[in-house]
Amino acid sequence: MLIFAHRGASADAPENTLLAIEQALIQQADGIEIDVYQLGNELVVIHDRWVSRTTNGTRLLSDYSLEELQTLDAGKGQFVPTLWQVLQCVQGLCLINIEVKGVRDVLLINECINKAVSQLGFEAEQFIVSSFNHHLLLAFKSIAPKIKIGALTASNPLDYARFAEDLQAYSVNADISFVDQNFVIDAHNRGLKMFVYTVDEPKDLLKLQAWGVDGVFSNGPAAAKLVLAVKA
């Protein structure tokens, strides 16, 4: 079962910062999940529309220029990085799940991935672009048919993973609060990977592994890997 560092190794460093990315690499996460918004023509790595939860700023993200945003304190001497700065930090060393929160121009994501493949030693197969916004995933798929997409769901659909199959997704990425074995079986029967967020509890990790879940998003990748290694 793959372990993705959720918002980087966010149990050990401020979420979605370069320190959290470095920690995820040190902890040998199989992949890193980050949240992305568009700011002007840049892609920035932050979870919320408001900057106040994760920085000392007080306004809507869209009220800032990139320069202003990057002067804000994200804790432990960190700032809000661009997607490109995160990819420069990772240098192709693990999988990257780009969770698209608020992006108008999906071309920007594709350009960033292509540049990372040509300049930073990534393979295109190392990227998964996921979103709760399935219209956005469709738009991305139409311009980048070879990049994997992850269809996120925060609710338990009546027909399980069918929505992700309809999107021609690579994976269904679902909340642990409702995932059960039937959902996992249904995803696999449709040829989809099953990823689950956010999983830190040892008993949850072991249960999901026993169900054949393909990957989890965990705030503490080293601790998660330890739980699975002890069991193995």
* Residue closer to ligand G3P (CB basis): 78 or 130: 130
Question: What is the nearest approach in angstroms of ligand G3P to the Cβ of residue 20?
Answer: 13
Is 15 a binding residue for Mg ion by CB under 5 A? The answer is no
Alpha helix positions (H), 71-106? 83-90
- How many angstroms from the chain centroid is the CA of residue 134? 15
**Distance of closest approach, residue 118 Cβ to ligand G3P, in angstroms:** 26
Q: Does 33 contact ligand G3P by CB under 6 A? A: yes
Minimum CB distance to ligand G3P, residue 230 (Å): 25
Running DSSP on this structure, what letter comes out for residue 21? H
Encoded one letter per residue, x for contact with Mg ion by CB under 5 A and - for no contact, window 56-95 reads ----------------------------------------
Q: Is 47 a catalytic residue?
A: yes
CB of 169 to ligand G3P, least distance (A): 13
**Alpha carbons 148 and 165: distance in angstroms, whole number:** 13
Residue 176, token pair as written in the block: 């642990």
Calculate the alpha carbon distances from 196 to 125, 181, 204 in Å. Answer: 20, 12, 10
> Is the bond into 82 cis (omega within 30 degrees of 0)?
no
Is residue 15 a contact point for ligand G3P (CB under 6 A)?
no
Per CB under 6 A, the list member of 16, 21, 35, 127 interacting with ligand G3P is 35
DSSP string for 148-202: EEEEEESS--TTTTHHHHHTT-SEEEEETTT--HHHHHHHHHTT-EEEEE----H
Tokens 């490109």 sit at which residue? Answer: 84
Tell me which of 47, 134, 135, 188 is the catalytic residue.
47
Residue with the shortest CB distance to ligand G3P: 197
Contacting residues toward ligand G3P, per CB under 6 A: 6, 33, 35, 47, 99, 130, 152, 173, 197-198, 217
Residues in the site for Mg ion, rule: CB under 5 A?
A: 35, 99
